[in-house]
Each structure stands twice: as structure tokens, then as C-alpha cells.
Homo-oligomer: A and B are copies of this chain.
Amino acid sequence: MRPALDHVATGTLFGVALNYRGLLESRLQEFQQAPYQKPPVKPVLFIKTPNTRNGHGQPVVYPQGVERLQPGPALGVVIGRSASRVRAEDAMAHVAGYVIVNEFSLPEESYYRPAVKAKCRDGFCPLGPEFVPAADVQDPHALTLKLFVNGQLRQENTTANLVRGIPQLIEEISEFMTLHEGDVLITGTPEGRVDVQPGDVVEVEITGLGRLANTVVAE
């Protein structure tokens, strides 16, 4: 039997911004300008705080006074043992497994450093439906992600388009901070994010990981 998601993915939720090729390319021009001057040379991280944790089948609250809300389909990588200064070639040994993440956000003009206010609303980070051990996923860099809204396919991409693959992310992040058992790397959400409304059923499907379903509800 697989370990329960709530028992393995207990740590910090790290988001990685701009980690799909199509998204990064669409933003390149902007990064030539002030204050960035150049595209990010390292992974751009953000945190989904513990209050954002949510589960399969649970409601996601559309905040009052907010104009737009966007789901963010993403592959979550669950760390299995502490990683500090791990080289890319050794990184996969630190991965316990995978889980679908729907990284809800309020859209922002700047992608460079996402704001806590846009990313960290209560319940804005559903994970599920279950933890899938690494041994059960043949190639995490060849998984199809699909986003459905009310049953309609609205986004489709593949983890083959990650700018930084999982080994590189673990190498570059563990270079400056320790990743702990139970931490989750949210490897990025692809370009083409869509708006959702109260009443919408939002589902993320990833090859071999199942389908994570949530309903957006009015506050």
C-alpha cells in the first residue's frame, strides 16, 4: 500500500516560477528591462505557506474583492531524504515520489518574485489525490499535464518542457538551502493560465498520478 499523502508531504511547499519553456520565452523581452536587466539565472522560488494546503475534493475559496483567480497545474516532487549541496547526478535518490499540485494564484503583472498576497491565500494549494512513489513513475520528465474546467480541456503541456528538470532544481536549490524530507518542490505551471469562477470544477490530471479535483466556491 502507498503511504498516505498527509504522512509524506508534510514539509515546506516550494514553488518554482517561470519553469516552463513557453512561459519563460514569452517573458524574455520584459526581463531585458529594469529592474531585472537579464533573465533569471537561478530558479526563482516562492513559498506556498501552510495555510494554503488543501486536498482532493475540497473547495477552493474565490476571495472577495478579487478580479481574477487562476489554477496552476504542476508536478509536485516530494523529497524523501534531506538534500544539501546535492549534485544533479545524485539528486533523484532524494526524491520519495510525486503528487499533483494545483497552485492557485491571483495573476500578477510581475512574474519575477511572486507576492505572498497573490500566492498564499487560505486553501490555494491543493495536493492530491495521492502520493505516488518514485518507483511507480517511469520518467517524471515525460508526463502530460492537463487542466480541465467543468470537464473541458483548457491547458495541456508536458514536463518535457521544464526549463529546469528535477535533478537541476534539486542541485540549484540545495546549493543554498537544505531540502528536508517531506518538502515538496512544485516544479512550475505552464503558460496559458486560465481564469476560473465560483462554481467551476477544476481538475488537474498528470500521467500516472491520477486526477486532482477541486470546486471553486464563492466566499
Which A residues lie at the B interface, using CB under 8 A?
Answer: 11-12, 14, 33-35, 42, 44-47, 49-51, 63, 84, 109-110, 112-117, 120-122, 176-178, 180
Given contacts A42-B117, A47-B116, A49-B12, contact A35 B176 (CB under 8 A): no
Across the interface, do B113 and A51 meet the contact criterion of CB distance under 8 Å? no
Task: Count chain B CB atoms within 10 A of each CB in A42, A177, A180 and give the residue with the most.
Answer: A177
In the complex, residue of chain B having the shortest beta-carbon distance to the beta carbon of A47: B47
Q: Complex Cα distance A12/B110, Å?
A: 25
SS class, residues of chain A in contact with chain B: loop
Residues of B with C-beta under 8 A to A117: 42, 45, 176-177
Across the interface, do A121 and B177 meet the contact criterion of CB distance under 8 Å? yes
Residues of B with C-beta under 8 A to A14: 49, 116
Q: How far is the CB of A61 from chain B (nearest CB, A)?
A: 11
Select which of B46, B47, B51 is within 8 A of A180 by beta carbon.
B51
Residues of B with C-beta under 8 A to A35: 34-35, 109-110
Q: How far is the CB of A173 from chain B (nearest CB, A)?
A: 9
Select which of B12, B34, B50, B122 is within 8 A of A11 by beta carbon.
B50
Q: Complex Cα distance A44/B176, Å?
A: 23
Residues of B with C-beta under 8 A to A122: 84, 177-178
Across the interface, do A12 and B50 meet the contact criterion of CB distance under 8 Å? yes
What are 12 A-B contacts defined by CB distance under 8 Å? A12-B51, A34-B35, A44-B115, A45-B115, A45-B116, A49-B177, A50-B180, A51-B177, A51-B178, A63-B176, A116-B177, A121-B176
Residues of B with C-beta under 8 A to A109: 35
Residues of B with C-beta under 8 A to A180: 50-51
Q: Complex Cα distance A45/B11, Å?
A: 20
